[in-house]
Amino acid sequence: MKTLWMLLPALVSLKSSADERPLVLRFDEPSAHWERHGLPIGNGALGAVLMGGVPTAEMQFNVDSLWTGDENPGGSYDLGDQARPNTFGTYQNFGSVIFEQAGGDKAVTVRSQNGPGTSNAPDQSVAQSVDGDPRTKWCVIHHDQPLVWVADLGEAKELSGYAFVSGNDMPKRDPAAWTVAGSDDGKVWRTLDEQREVAPIDGRGKSATYGISKPASHRYVRFSFTPRKNTTHFQVAEIQLKGIPLAARSAVPENYRRQLDLRLARHTTQWSEGGVTFTREAIASHPAGVVAWRLGADQAGKLTGNLRFKGAHPQWEKSESTRDGLKLIGTLPNGLRYAARLQVIAKGGTSTSKDGRFSIEGCDEVLVLLAADTNYVMDRKAGWMKGDPMKVVDERLAKASAQSWEQLRAEHEADHRRLFDRVSLDLGASAPEVAGKPINLRIKAYRDQARDLPRPCLDPELEAMLFQYGRYLLIGSSRRGTLPANLQGIWCNSNKPAWASDYHSNINLQMNYWLAETANLPELADPLFDLLTAGAPVYREHTALEYGADTEGFVTRMSINPFGGTGWNWNIEGTAWLSQHFWEHYQFSLDEDFLKETAWPWMRDVSLFWLGRLKELPDGQLVVPNAWSHEHGPHEDGTAHAQQLMWDLFSSTLSAAEILELDPALQARLRETLDKLYGPKIGSWGQLMEWMEEKPELEKGNHRHTSHLFAVHPGNQITLQDHPELAEAARVSLTKRGEVGDSRRSWTWAWRTALWSRLGQPDRAHGCVAGLLAYNTLDNLWTTHPPFQIDGNFGITAGMIEMLLQSHAGVISLLPALPEAYPAGSAKGLRARGDVVVNLDWEAGTLKSASLTSSVSQTVRIQLPGEAEVRKVELIAGQPHTVGRP
Q: In three state form, how does the secondary structure of 491-554 look?
A: CCCCCCCHHHHCEECCCHHHHHCHHHHHCCCHHHHHHHHHHHHHHHHHHHHHHHHHHCCCCCCC
* Residue 530 to residue 357: CA distance in whole angstroms: 39
Q: What integer pLDDT is reported at residue 125 of this predicted model?
A: 78
**b/e per residue 364-396 (b: at least 16 CB within 10 A):** ebbbbbbbbbbbbbbeeeeebbeeebbebbbeb
Helices (H), ranges, 161-216? none
Round to whole Å and give the CA distance between 727 and 758. 9
Q: Per the omega criterion (within 30 degrees of 0), is the bond before 880 cis?
A: no
What pTM did the predictor assign?
A: 0.87
Q: What is the pLDDT of residue 599?
A: 98
Which helix (H) or strand (E) segment holds residue 55: the answer is none
Rounded Cα distance, 575 and 533, in Å: 12
What's residue 79's pLDDT? 43
Residue 98 confidence (pLDDT): 94
Q: Rounded CA gap, 327 and 21, in Å?
A: 41
> Residue ranges of the domains in the chain?
41-94+284-404, 106-250
> What's residue 456's pLDDT?
60
Q: Please, how many CA atoms are within 13 Å of residue 532, restricted to the half-sphere of its CB?
A: 34
CA 374 remoteness from chain centre: 21
CATH class of 41-94+284-404: mainly beta
Each residue of 486-502: b (16+ CB within 10 Å) or e?
bbbbbbbbbbbbbbbbb
Range 807-836 burial, b when 16+ CB lie within 10 A, else e: bbbebbbbbbbbbebbbbbbbbbbbbbbbb
Cβ neighbour number for residue 312 with a 10 Å cutoff = 21
Neighbours of 345 (CB within 10 A): 18
CA–CA gap between residue 804 and residue 839 (Å, rounded): 10
What CATH number should be reported for the domain whose range is 106-250? 2.60.120.260
Domain 41-94+284-404 and domain 106-250 have a common topology: no
In the chain, what's the furthest Cα-to-Cα distance? 90
* pLDDT tens-digit readout, 616-652: 999 999 999 999 888 888 899 999 999 999 999 999 9
Tell me if residue 270 falls in helix, strand or coil.
strand
- Determine the pLDDT at residue 103: 66
Q: Is 776 left (phi over 0), alpha (psi -120 to 50) or beta?
A: alpha
What does the alpha-carbon distance between residue 367 and residue 343 come to, in Å, rounded to a whole number?
A: 8
Say if strands 46-50 and 118-119 run parallel, antiparallel, or are unpaired. unpaired
Low-confidence residues in the chain, pLDDT < 70: 1-20, 75-85, 103-109, 111-123, 247-251, 451-456, 739-744, 885-886
Please measure the distance between the N-terminal and C-terminal CA atoms of the chain and give it in whole angstroms.
36
Distance of alpha carbon 107 from alpha carbon 54, whole angstroms? 8
| Dist. CA 128–CA 138, nearest whole Å | 5
